[in-house]
Amino acid sequence: MGRMEAQGLFMKTIIISIGDEVTSGHTLNTNASWIAQNLEQAGVTPERVVTMRDDIPALVEELRQDTRRYNLILVTGGLGPTHDDVTKPALVKAFRAPLVRDEKVRRQVRSFFKKIDRPMAPVNEGQADVPKGFTPLSNAIGTAPGLMLTSGRYTLVAMPGVPSEMRHIMERHIIPMAKKMAGGAVLLRATLRTAGIGESTLATSLTEKGVAMPPGVSLAYLPHFGQVDLRLTVTGKDRRKAQAVLNKAAREIENAVGEFIYGKECQTLEEAVGEILTRKKITIASAESCTGGLFASRVTAVPGASAYFMAGVVAYSNLSKQKLAGVKTETLVRHGAVSAEVAKELAEGIRKATGADIGISSTGVAGPTGGTKEKPVGLIYIGMAHANGMETVKLNLGMDRARNQGRTANDMLVWLWRTARDWPGDSL
Amino acid sequence: MGRMEAQGLFMKTIIISIGDEVTSGHTLNTNASWIAQNLEQAGVTPERVVTMRDDIPALVEELRQDTRRYNLILVTGGLGPTHDDVTKPALVKAFRAPLVRDEKVRRQVRSFFKKIDRPMAPVNEGQADVPKGFTPLSNAIGTAPGLMLTSGRYTLVAMPGVPSEMRHIMERHIIPMAKKMAGGAVLLRATLRTAGIGESTLATSLTEKGVAMPPGVSLAYLPHFGQVDLRLTVTGKDRRKAQAVLNKAAREIENAVGEFIYGKECQTLEEAVGEILTRKKITIASAESCTGGLFASRVTAVPGASAYFMAGVVAYSNLSKQKLAGVKTETLVRHGAVSAEVAKELAEGIRKATGADIGISSTGVAGPTGGTKEKPVGLIYIGMAHANGMETVKLNLGMDRARNQGRTANDMLVWLWRTARDWPGDSL
């Protein structure tokens, strides 16, 4: 666990987000994640994010605690002109800093309203009041300036909660400062994205193959919906050395479990599939029953999908399975719509109808109704057809409808990725 | 503002989210907002959300502090089987509670792996270890059970960070308990969901029609992606009175802007559409080009969609537009694939091919490439065909690919909703 040793290099940083709309879950805290990601690139890693309600005494207590524990305290929200804006009153109280009217800020607020051609409400005059000892940070795109207090031990910055204004103040004032304070410390990350293998099997596999992270490198398993991302983090003072350490660790993992790695960084599975299909000039078509178009919509979410995705059908009714994908009546009668045989005919049928290289299909009981003892909710067949034949895979999911459909579309993509990866004709 | 008075009625609640991926901003903290929203409905309002890194000593300190200050402490994340999972070691340390192997949990973990038909890695054996004094909370859809500790003053619950598993444990164990603990304080909410009207037009319309919220009721406008939710909140001590106030306010809004309200609470647009189609026995089919199956996948996400959704085609290539949806070569040549004429023929073609009452279609330039001066990115036609004729709507979106596709599928649903609503044969 390299992280623990390296932590001392960094400023101890906390982000505080103020607002009932955030604690109540009605607004996602995207401000905190933007700040964290941008600070990290500057070499500063936040240790903690606190989201609080619009509550002055609670904020006063939090600020007093944090000034003893952190070197950089970033507050967002609660800086507007209305009654539920609690940050400035809390600063006044926590730091015994009475408000002083700042003429420069007053002129800026006035000129802002002039610029956007709106009358300035009297309530906005108060935005020029700055707690004594605080430095106002200019906000060119809104009315509330940032407020900064620096002591020997810590820097505290309060910013508006409006994302664009917060970002403006961060980019103009805080990130340059953080870079200096971080003093050349670097934190580098790499993400290897896997599919078709579970978190624990992956961990066991790496251990069995003797892959261990050297000091200074940490490895995190980030599972999400049938896939696991492996995220490597390296911290250090020398960017080059850190990069070399990171590359070496990534290579070791790739050597051990490379067959499950479909992409890097933020590449999606459908993008990885699209890249291979384009490169190898493979075309595909889909015939979906229980996934209802979800597979096609994920494939066509990728720009340029028209190069390899010929067409899809959502063959929901039996009649449409016959008419649009050429499934035989006899097969439907003998095996039922949810069967390996129908999955095969759907895949082969759409392949023939469109002339694609690969046909891929789904049929199953997505639920919550429609299950029987022999064919319960979550029983799903996926099929694939190409020049060398037809295959099917049986899934037993047994989750709710959304997850049965989502997981099946994902498994279809994983299967397609493997098939395309092993397809002849790579001209790399 | 009823909130401030009512606050004392509620349990003091904190949510703690564990994970470097959350503090670093790489993962949005959607777990915390889900928990907050669902607790609120149970009468419990969280005061604080803390996001922490994978750091055992920091979590131990946080837990010790929180047990003195909060009555309900909910921890998510850090409960998996790998080395970076810090929650269980922190519980052991904070509560001096050594691990005890729980045979019942062990059987559950084993049977989970059996159910999903995968081998159980030895590392998963450890998931059956429970800190002494903690109650394991069964997790039917994953391997890590929840862990609960109750004392006279507080209840602490640790849950896995995988959203579906967390939700499962919350719904099964925690929300019913929270309802009981909330003991009578009420916060009631009603949401009226609108489509086809903007936020400011909606606000103006309500003002012009003299709709004003009485004291104790607040109205929030929550816009999202071409729709606006109207959320009413009432707080009080008497459930009946609060409910009456809420109902009256909702009725007033319905009287004023009812034609734009498609549903209530968490009903989705596709559910509202499905309800009307089922009730009026209307069948539909889709022929999508630029939305690539997104419309079909939203329609088929609703249980029971097979009653009204006959089939869809994703006619991505020109050839598939002709073969699967009967678009004429001449039309494609004369007007191009992105045209009102092709939108009409797609809608009428799929209607005829499937025998559905309504055919609906999309064709356009989703982007980011493929735009020309005459047909720029974001130019999209949607079409509808039924026994009384064919219509098209031209959209000029000009956003990125994902939003062009998403907004188009949404507009198709809004149009279908209005058409179905005004369709004859309502037997209500």
Supply B56's token pair: 């055992």
- Domain A269-420: give its CATH architecture: Alpha-Beta Complex (3.90)
Check if the beta carbon of residue A312 is closer than 8 Å to that of residue B293: yes
E strands of A315-421, at which residues?
358-364, 379-386, 389-396
Q: Would you call the peptide bond into B214 cis, given omega within 30 degrees of 0 as the criterion?
A: no
The residue of chain A with its CA nearest to that of B370 is A304
pLDDT per position as a tens digit, B392-410:
999 998 788 998 999 999 9
Check if the beta carbon of residue A173 is closer than 8 Å to that of residue A137: yes
**CATH class for the domain made up of B7-182:** alpha beta
Residues of chain B positioned with their CB less than 8 A from the CB of A299: 292
How many helices (H) and strands (E) chain B has is answered by 16, 17
pLDDT of residue A392: 97
3-class secondary structure, A249: helix
> Does B52 contact A53 at a Cβ distance shorter than 8 Å?
no
Burial B334-343 (b: 16+ CB within 10 A, else e): eeebbbbbbb
pLDDT of residue A82: 62
pLDDT of residue A45: 83
Q: How confident is the model at residue B146 (pLDDT cuts 50, 70, 90)?
A: very high
pLDDT of residue A1: 28
Q: Mean pLDDT for chain B? A: 89
**CATH class for the domain made up of A2-182:** alpha beta
Which residues are bridge partners to B79 per DSSP?
Answer: none
Q: Which parts of chain A sit beneath pLDDT 50?
A: 1-9, 427-428
> Does B54 contact A220 at a Cβ distance shorter than 8 Å?
yes
Helix (H) or strand (E) holding B253: helix B239-257
pLDDT of residue B154: 92
**Does CATH place domain B186-264 in 3.30.70.2860?**
yes
Q: Of chain B residues 224-283, which have a CB less than 8 A from chain A?
A: none
pLDDT of residue B4: 29
> Does B324 contact A313 at a Cβ distance shorter than 8 Å?
yes
Closest CA to A156 of A182, A174, A144: A174
**Phi, psi for A188 (deg, rounded to 5):** -115, 145
Q: At A288, which amino acid appears?
A: E
pLDDT of residue B282: 97
Taking the C-alpha atoms of residue B169 and residue B179, their distance in angstroms, rounded to an integer, is 15
Q: At B290, which amino acid appears?
A: C
Residues of chain B positioned with their CB less than 8 A from the CB of A396: 115-117
pLDDT of residue B228: 87
Radius of gyration of chain B (CA): 26
Residues of chain B positioned with their CB less than 8 A from the CB of A323: 311, 353-354
Handedness of CA B272, B273, B278, B280 (dihedral sign): positive
Taking the C-alpha atoms of residue A71 and residue A93, their distance in angstroms, rounded to an integer, is 20
* Complex ipTM tops 0.90: no
More confident residue, B306 or A182: B306
The residue of chain B with its CA nearest to that of A230 is B21
* Count of A-B CB contacts under 8 Å: 284
Residues of chain B positioned with their CB less than 8 A from the CB of A297: 291-294, 296-297, 405
Closest CA to B22 of A232, A39, A178, A46: A46
The minimum CA-CA distance between A122 and chain B, rounded to whole Å, is 23
Helix (H) or strand (E) holding A52: strand A46-52
Check if the beta carbon of residue A124 is closer than 8 Å to that of residue A111: no
Q: Of chain A residues 82-141, which have a CB less than 8 A from chain B?
A: none
The residue of chain A with its CA nearest to that of B124 is A200
Compute the half-sphere exposure of residue B91: CA atoms within 13 Å on the CB side of its CA.
Answer: 29
Closest CA to B342 of B358, B359, B357, B362: B362
C-alpha triplet B35, B40, B42: angle, nearest 5°: 100
A315 and B CB contact within 8 Å? yes
pLDDT per position as a tens digit, A56-96:
999 999 999 999 999 999 999 988 766 567 999 999 999 99
- Percent of chain B residues topping a pLDDT of 90: 62
Taking the C-alpha atoms of residue A18 and residue B340, their distance in angstroms, rounded to an integer, is 49
Query: Given B45, B46, B314, which is nearest A312 (Cβ)?
Result: B314
Contacts of A423 (CB under 8 A, 6+ apart): A276, A280, A282
Residues of chain A positioned with their CB less than 8 A from the CB of B364: none
Supply B82's token pair: 């790998």
> Does B24 contact A32 at a Cβ distance shorter than 8 Å?
no
DSSP state, residue A137: E
The minimum CA-CA distance between A301 and chain B, rounded to whole Å, is 7
Residue B106 scores a pLDDT above 50: yes
Check if the beta carbon of residue B321 is closer than 8 Å to that of residue B305: no
3-class secondary structure, A323: helix
Query: Given A49, A314, A402, which is nearest B301 (Cβ)?
Result: A402
More confident residue, B417 or B141: B417
Helix H, strand E, coil C: the string for B47-92 is: CEEEEECCCHHHHHHHHHHHHHHCCEEEEECCCCCCCCCCHHHHHH
> Does A47 contact B55 at a Cβ distance shorter than 8 Å?
yes
Q: For chain A, give every domain's residue range.
A: 2-182, 186-264, 269-420
pLDDT of residue B116: 76
Check if the beta carbon of residue A197 is closer than 8 Å to that of residue A216: no
pLDDT per position as a tens digit, B171-209:
999 998 888 777 666 778 899 999 988 777 888 889 889
pLDDT of residue A167: 92
